[in-house]
Structure 1
């Protein structure tokens, strides 16, 4: 009798352990790049495939490649502003469909590489529009701008491929500047707000509120999607955690560095409180801290340096472009990350070829396996 009871208890423990393992495996399958999902979607309806491609494009804005992350981010945008969520959805679908019609590389389309620039263009058109929400005429430039991003991406890719550089958000930054220059703040159909030039506002006259500055750090992550609400910004950060905890750490660290850089040169308090001082630092830090470079203590220091350089460059570009009423967008982080990718020396040894970039944890695992293989080859050669 005692033996039967012991056997049943052991069997129950095995079943519980097996269930826990299955749950853990299911959760782990939702992290990283979810490559297995692409194989599963091969024979599915085009509409379902388009949805997955579009969600990957949404996540690509924040340097992730996971459709579940894209779904969380899209939910955060609709939470913050249904109109902005609609514009972002329209932008990513328009650019992805344009890439399909143009016959762009199927691997690039399915990875969302032709969707994220279109989404950013549509979001920024909505943010800078002075016509208010639900201004339906805005859908016309949103669709045209998002589609044009595909042409620019296709044209820039062969040039940048020579140096193994990503196209990144160069198309978005170019298109949004051209759109704002073409329309103007007093356009009868597509009016927009001008960026405030330096010196137009009175100097900071109130004391700095420490709580608001700390609140601006997670908002800096949300501002990558032009989202200035705290709850949605935290949800966006949670989406990054789902994709890669290491990338999320660098996102928060980069935003904090950008905020510190803003404090050091006494930028306006509004920029600190709303996260505008932090989002370029977050992007610059994420790009170097494990995405395009294998994570190590050396690349971690480079990531912090990249965040500082991105933040200070953003402040300089905002002051420069503000004189003609233009925003700096994400030019600072894009140019800084490109510069970091061109560096020689010790950092180049950690550089990951663009075609092999995965989640930071996968990049680190692949490098460990490669180094272990090289060590084994050397030992066998010595013998």
Structure 2
């Protein structure tokens, strides 16, 4: 079935990436999970292999490949069982860098996008605020124009790569009286005076640095404005579809990996004289879970195909994230149960996966918010349109 989406070249890429991750990343994961810090050398290696530039223009060092290379990138990152490492990589490549590529000037692309593709510079996207959560329009951070620079004040929270990144893509209101129509996007150097970051202690995703960031009279050159002033909200909405699809793909991939691991365990583990995969109740649970994962995976592939063809998939991507993260949580919960006491042990992969998966229905827009967005489109016939070029 997957032959409809993946070519032989895609499969060769998957094998190469899987081999790279096993050799270069997996030996370090436990250390990074413990320390909460991903060492810089791996960013450079990822960049050297071209993994950050899969979809970006050749002009800046990218490969200009189709969306299914990104799908493979996301799926394989989930198979090494560190939601934090995976998040750090895709938040850099598909949150921060997406804005650089779409809204950044030529100068910004040369200064930030090109070294992001090589792994020389790490980026983060700063939208969520302590008092805003999923309410992007309600953000309080301001960037007010004073002469040849903007002065940024405010705070952001739950920012992946928020502590150790080299630059920040920041959303702030340049005309607060206009509400969401007065929001703009900037790129800001980490070493700019007035920026401070605090590392947050999380339930899962422990390898990634998630930060709360404060901006106090931070001076941003006018040239660091990305796109048009006061169009920031449109830009953010434009790219949310990609973020939601990313989290949907992540979810089906980790659920699939959890099932694979659990099936191997069940084939070896014996109880009452037979292996666990011979018990009808467990077999039927596996049948149901496998069906759910296969359905959401195929849906995600179809959404990815539509996105690759330039379609605006905000409804479908929202459905992807809503359903895939829900199914992944349920599947991983049941898989952990099937391992019994061993599932609760940190020496087995399900414990970490269980913790990491729980962020799925929360990050990038909670399931509750997504339900209302989908309801508006399905019931109220609301149409979300892409930002005007």
Instruction: Using structure 2 for the length normalisation, give the TM-score.
Output: 0.28
Greater helix share, structure number: 1
Greater strand share, structure number: 2
Instruction: Using structure 1 for the length normalisation, give the TM-score.
Output: 0.29
